[in-house]
Structure 1
Amino acid sequence: MKIKFLIFIVALLFSISKVKAQDPIFTQFYLIPETLNPGFSGSSEAPYAGVLQRIQWPSLDLRVETSYAFASFWLEEANSGIGFNAISQTESFNDYRLQQFNVNYAYRVQLSDEWFFRPGIEIGWGFKDFNFQNLLLEDQININTGVNSPTSIDPLTPNTTVNYVDISAGMVFNTRNSWIGFSLKHINRPNISLRDERNEPLEMLLSVSTGYEIKLLDMVDISFLPNEAKLIATGNYMRQGRFDRLDIGTIFDFERFLAGATFSMDVFDRTENSHVLTSINPFFGVRITDDLRFGVSYDVNTSNIGRTNGVYEFSLTYRFTSRYEDCYGCPTYIK
């Protein structure tokens, strides 16, 4: 039993190092930028809510499922946005589970006739959990009675749950049709070690995102295009520890339907066996009503990781009608 436990710990430590270095990420960040930056809280200047569901590598034993739910509100009198979000992630390989609840606040500052500045902060409470209940150690076995004890005094037995406070901050500069945002997550570097006597600070996550939208009729004169048809170019660079990722792509918004693709790349610190382009991520969306939007994306793996069956992601968002619908400072790309 000792050997079995030690093998499990070795596998667990490998998994922890991977989890510690990489936060949950979403392909459809351009639809729900709150996943990246608390500065986007309330940026639609109307009540806005939604959910994201991500299923990663369903054909492998490393299947990862991530759920995200959010709601944000705009307080015009206070020139502020507030938001709430919850995230849950599970991994099949080691019964790992992450759950976290966050509260966001952002303030709008008008810099010029066109530009706005939105600094934001996020404070959250989270816990990481590993399922050790299924382990049976040597000192739990009683050969004489044939009854196994539910507890162990083995010094290697770790805690099953880690609780922590998490603080993040960000800022967004935007006009009605463009934005650039910067965020830094885990500023306080919370300790996520399963051992009481150890300190394993969570790596900070840097994100730089940008986007620009343009009406298609300003580029081409095609009579069958809807008047409000748009092209949205977007990009996001993230770095956490020695891991980084760059996503760039375009989305075509034909009012009722949306379609496009992003490309995910490993920019720096690649090994000789790694790839620059790691996945191609087509996206399709539909506006069920003027305010209700559904989206689905599929990440096509381009590396040699094996037959993973890709990554599926589903989103559903609703933007409530607001009396500030035509406000000049509202970024239109998330409507």
Structure 2
Amino acid sequence: MKKILVPLLLIVCVSVHAQDPHFSQFFSSPLTLNPAYTGKFDGTFRVAGNYRNQWPTINNAFTTATASVDFALLQSRIPEFDTWGVGIMGLNDQSGNKILNNNFISISTAYHKALDENGYHTLTVGFQGTYANKRLDISKATFEDQLTSLGFTGVTSEVFNTRNVAVNYFDVNAGFLYSGSTNGYNNFYLGVSSYHISRPKESFQGGNYILNPRLTVHGGGYVPMGRITTFHGSFIHQRQAGATETVLGGAVAFSLSDDEALESNLYTGLWYRLGDAFIPYVGIEFSGLRLGYSYDINNSSLSTASNSRGGNEISLIFVRKPSDPSRRKLGCPKF
């Protein structure tokens, strides 16, 4: 079964129904979720990293890793509580046991405009430019028409120009984000983003395949439940090339310190990808660093091949806090 699925996964990746890489911990990968997240955090700079190994029992079907850094500019020259953020991100996605290798580098910017005198409510517009490089290793590829009674011993009818097994293009993404708070201790947000606005051409065989745009709607918030507990909830709905993904759930944060400024927390929660997988999550936060781990438990029709193992995922976010201890804490999206 695994030998059959690997070439089929490759066919899916290079067909007109190809989908963007995604993370179960979408809330921990801000610059792949929405360019409007650039600079939206309570600190001087933010570093984020993610690693995902999806369907590991199917010969490394998909592995994805990303790293990003973003920060604010000209804080002393723009209105109080406004923020102008810039960021850079790199992403690597490998499919079919490294047969298809995708590399992306993105530069993003966003302006966060305060809507009230306290800065509790902000409206953001963000933009992102991406350079993409995709390479297909034909020497490792097998295709469905090669399958015979003796295995993959047949000859494929697929034709590739050896000079055209790499694709390079420039892409444009954009997004909007609203974030609000009623008292500075809670937060709620709603965002929308669109990727591949420029509709770049993408083909390994000299065709004119136009990359389908991806539309994402996401939202969530957090609210204190008691002296040491806070509930965080979030959702995401994505659509691309007729395929959809919806994930929703939440986590409870247990404070590990009586000092409110330290933000030391233990997180435990559960998200669910509709029709596909349960996603239990645990995380730890201290000194501006949050480390999270999740594991997809597949419950779709693919569970027979995957042994219900959807994938491991690790996330890391570090936010450098301002040095002024008397500053007012800003309410920002967190999950």
Change (3 A) 1:90 1:9: closer
Q: Classify the secondary structure of the residue corresponding to 1:69.
A: strand
Report the Cα offset of residue 112 of structure 1.
2.8
- Tell me how far apart the structure 2 counterparts of residues 99 and 208 of structure 1 sit (CA, whole Å): 25
Give matches, 1:50-89, under 5 Å. 50-61=48-59, 63-75=61-73, 76-77=75-76, 78=78, 79-89=83-93
C-alpha contact 2:92 2:102 (8 A) present in aligned 1: yes
C-alpha contact 1:55 1:65 (8 A) present in aligned 2: yes
Change (3 A) 1:72 1:161: same
Task: Give the corresponding residue for 1:333.
Answer: 334
Report the Cα offset of residue 329 of structure 1.
4.9
Give matches, 1:208-227, under 5 Å. 208-217=217-226, 226=228
Task: Give the AA of the match of 1:181.
Answer: G
C-alpha contact 2:10 2:95 (8 A) present in aligned 1: no
Once the two structures are overlaid, the 10-residue window that deviates more, 325-334 or 164-173, is 325-334
Normalising by the residue count of structure 1, what TM-score does the alignment of the two structures yield? 0.79
Q: For 1:286, which of 284, 287, 290 is the aligned residue?
A: 284
Structure 2 residue runs of 5 or longer lacking an equivalent are 1-5, 142-157, 182-186, 256-264
Q: Classify the secondary structure of the residue corresponding to 2:14.
A: helix
Give matches, 1:1-335, under 5 Å. 13-17=11-15, 20-46=17-43, 47-61=45-59, 63-75=61-73, 76-77=75-76, 78=78, 79-93=83-97, 95-113=99-117, 114-133=120-139, 156-158=160-162, 159-176=164-181, 177-196=187-206, 198-217=207-226, 226=228, 229-255=229-255, 256-265=265-274, 277-287=275-285, 289-305=286-302, 306-308=304-306, 309-323=309-323, 326-327=327-328, 329-331=330-332, 333=334
Task: Give the corresponding residue for 1:271.
Answer: none
Task: Give the AA of the match of 2:29.
Answer: I
Report the Cα offset of residue 31 of structure 1.
2.8
- What are the superposed Cα offsets for residues 209-239 of structure 1, whole Å, 9 maximum, x if unpaired? 001211012xxxxxxx52xx21011111100
Q: Classify the secondary structure of the residue corresponding to 1:254.
A: strand
C-alpha contact 1:45 1:73 (8 A) present in aligned 2: no
- Tell me how far apart the structure 2 counterparts of residues 11 and 248 of structure 1 sit (CA, whole Å): 26
Report the Cα offset of residue 92 of structure 1.
2.6
Task: Give the AA of the match of 1:333.
Answer: K
Task: Give the AA of the match of 1:209.
Answer: H
Report the Cα offset of residue 129 of structure 1.
0.8
- Tell me how far apart the structure 2 counterparts of residues 302 and 11 of structure 1 sit (CA, whole Å): 19
Change (3 A) 1:14 1:258: closer
Task: Give the corresponding residue for 1:150.
Answer: none
Once the two structures are overlaid, the 10-residue window that deviates more, 70-79 or 230-239, is 70-79
Task: Give the AA of the match of 2:176.
Answer: M
Task: Give the corresponding residue for 2:145.
Answer: none
Change (3 A) 1:254 1:168: same
- What are the superposed Cα offsets for residues 5-49 of structure 1, whole Å, 9 maximum, x if unpaired? xxx99985444127x531011111123332210101010042010
Report the Cα offset of residue 324 of structure 1.
7.3
Normalising by the residue count of structure 2, what TM-score does the alignment of the two structures yield? 0.79
- Tell me how far apart the structure 2 counterparts of residues 206 and 91 of structure 1 sit (CA, whole Å): 23
Report the Cα offset of residue 278 of structure 1.
1.1
C-alpha contact 1:83 1:105 (8 A) present in aligned 2: yes
C-alpha contact 1:128 1:161 (8 A) present in aligned 2: yes
C-alpha contact 1:21 1:243 (8 A) present in aligned 2: no
Change (3 A) 1:258 1:12: closer
Bigger Rg, structure 1 or 2: 1
- Tell me how far apart the structure 1 counterparts of residues 168 and 161 of structure 2 sit (CA, whole Å): 17
Q: Classify the secondary structure of the residue corresponding to 2:57.
A: coil
Q: Classify the secondary structure of the residue corresponding to 2:138.
A: coil
Q: Classify the secondary structure of the residue corresponding to 2:36.
A: helix
Q: Which has the higher strand share?
A: 2
- Tell me how far apart the structure 2 counterparts of residues 253 and 323 of structure 1 sit (CA, whole Å): 25
C-alpha contact 2:13 2:19 (8 A) present in aligned 1: no
Once the two structures are overlaid, the 10-residue window that deviates more, 22-31 or 48-57, is 22-31
The number of residues matched between the two structures is 287
Change (3 A) 1:94 1:66: closer
- What are the superposed Cα offsets for residues 173-207 of structure 1, whole Å, 9 maximum, x if unpaired? 001401100100000011111133x2111110000
- Tell me how far apart the structure 2 counterparts of residues 333 and 87 of structure 1 sit (CA, whole Å): 21
C-alpha contact 1:12 1:94 (8 A) present in aligned 2: no
